[in-house]
Amino acid sequence: MNKQAILPPFAAIVVAAGKGTRAGQDIPKQFAMWRGRPVIRHSTEALSAAGASPIVVAIPPGHADEAGNALAGIEGIHLVKGGATRQESVFKALQELSDNAPPSILIHDAARPDLPADIIARLLLALDKHDGAIPVLPVVDSLARDTDGFMTGAVDRDSIRRVQTPQAFRTQAIASAHAAWHGALDAGDDAQVLQAAGGSVAFVEGDERLKKLTFAEDFSMTAPLARTGLGFDVHRLVTGGELWLGGIRIEHDKGLAGHSDADVALHAIVDALLGATAQGDIGQHFLPSDSQWKDASSDRFLKHAGKLVGQAGYRIGNIDLTIICEAPKIGPYRDAMRLRIAELLGVDTSQVSVKATTTEGLGLTGRGEGIAAQAIATVEHEG
């Protein structure tokens, strides 16, 4: 469904002026990477796709370059320096809007990156009858009043709601409410500002996807529970050399040619593990032009790949290796290969599968000119 075609015109403010220190990132959390893109970009793109124009983004002073890079390519963006509090940042952003701003506006916290289009639609449609609308969720846990660490009473959870953003307002109503505010600029959200000015605020159904990123674990939890990588390698067979395959030496009249010991089976597994954790390929970690890897055992490459998997926060789930050749026959060596690969990676043998096939006399492997191998690796998140 084309949301831009059915929704009324609206502007948006993205509040991204905080420091986000609790998130444990090297930069303000709104500029940190989350699911492959800066946090701030996710919801801003969603607002733009829904038709928001203009989009005013309140950012921390001194971070215009980070904001510009994070939002590059999104049309209708206006950056404004935020204030000392969230309320002050929103007030400054409202002042950035021209007199001919759209009649409706959404105000959203950048720290809630996953913004479903249905939420935007529900909020804007609610403005037909109300000055403001906010997404809410029920409270499912029991609540207790705390006094000096002791329970002093219960709270009726049926009468309270968890409040999310974006929050939708009639533009003139929320602008007037902010201008009329008296006292410290410390309101928790814009719905409180509108209510203080006498405006009506309706509830619409929220969404658990609108979770706010607050702590370091909120970023680490975004890693997929499982990832898969594919590896492939092929080397020529030459007379006179040693044949290393699957981490073991096999008696054969030919060996594999390469800079290292040319163990195509281990090389394929290395690339599969590196691919599963998006860490390049074997050539990037062990340059063929580097003399230190001349005739090196591929055991070292596989151990290194296994270590990188752990450093990325994953553990190896399973390895499925297929060796493609006419000779030698792999069956007699299958169990020894599985044992050696499992030993090198520090996993159980049951996590390693070794298979073999031929190409029925076709191609370079069919003609006995070389051996190929392909591997699939699945890694599981440690969190």
Please tell me whether residue 116 adopts helix, strand or coil conformation: coil
CB distance 147 to 34 below 8 Å = no
Same domain, 359 and 213: no
Predicted local distance difference test score (pLDDT) of residue 187: 94
Same domain, 284 and 208: no
Based on the number of CB atoms within 10 Å of its own CB, is 75 exposed (0-12), middle (13-18) or buried (19 or more)? Answer: exposed
The predicted-structure confidence for 240-263, as pLDDT tens digits, reads as follows 889 999 999 999 999 998 888 999
Residue where a domain stops, chosen among 220, 236, 251: 220
Q: Specify the DSSP class assigned to residue 97.
A: S
Q: Specify the DSSP class assigned to residue 9.
A: P
Predicted local distance difference test score (pLDDT) of residue 1: 39
Which tokens go with 128? 């037909």
In whole angstroms, give the CA distance from residue 252 to residue 229.
Answer: 31
Based on the number of CB atoms within 10 Å of its own CB, is 150 exposed (0-12), middle (13-18) or buried (19 or more)? Answer: exposed
In whole angstroms, give the CA distance from residue 363 to residue 276.
Answer: 29
**How many Cβ atoms sit within 10 Å of the Cβ of residue 17?**
27
Same domain, 333 and 193: no
Q: Which residues of the chain fall short of a pLDDT of 70?
A: 1-5, 20-26, 220-224, 382-383
Residue where a domain stops, chosen among 200, 220, 240: 220
CB distance 109 to 167 below 8 Å = no
Same domain, 320 and 352: yes
In whole angstroms, give the CA distance from residue 199 to residue 237.
Answer: 80
Q: Specify the DSSP class assigned to residue 216.
A: H
In whole angstroms, give the CA distance from residue 270 to residue 286.
Answer: 11
Number of domains in the chain: 2
Question: Which residue, chain included where needed, has tokens 């303000």?
Answer: 28
Question: Which residue, chain included where needed, has tokens 């069919």?
Answer: 366
Same domain, 239 and 295: yes
Predicted local distance difference test score (pLDDT) of residue 382: 67
Please tell me whether residue 127 adopts helix, strand or coil conformation: coil
In whole angstroms, give the CA distance from residue 193 to residue 89.
Answer: 13
Same domain, 95 and 176: yes
CB distance 34 to 70 below 8 Å = no
Predicted local distance difference test score (pLDDT) of residue 215: 81
In the chain, what is the straight-line distance between the N-terminal and C-terminal CA atoms, in Å?
36
Predicted local distance difference test score (pLDDT) of residue 2: 40
Q: What's the predicted TM-score (pTM) here?
A: 0.63
Same domain, 159 and 93: yes
Same domain, 232 and 202: no
- Here the CATH number for the domain that contains residue 74 is 3.90.550.10
Which tokens go with 29? 């959390």
In whole angstroms, give the CA distance from residue 132 to residue 248.
Answer: 70
Predicted local distance difference test score (pLDDT) of residue 383: 55
Give me the domain span that covers residue 365: 226-381
In whole angstroms, give the CA distance from residue 381 to residue 116.
Answer: 26
Same domain, 341 and 374: yes
How would you classify the pairing of strands 248-250 and 226-239? unpaired
Predicted local distance difference test score (pLDDT) of residue 221: 55
Same domain, 213 and 296: no
- Here the CATH number for the domain that contains residue 256 is 3.30.1330.50
Predicted local distance difference test score (pLDDT) of residue 18: 84
Q: Could you tell me which residues come within 8 angstroms of residue 168 by beta carbon, excluding any fewer than 6 positions away? A: 10, 104, 105, 106, 107, 123, 124, 126, 127, 132, 133, 134
Same domain, 189 and 246: no
CB distance 212 to 109 below 8 Å = yes
Residue where a domain stops, chosen among 220, 241, 261: 220
- For residue 234, list its beta bridge partners: 372
Same domain, 254 and 174: no
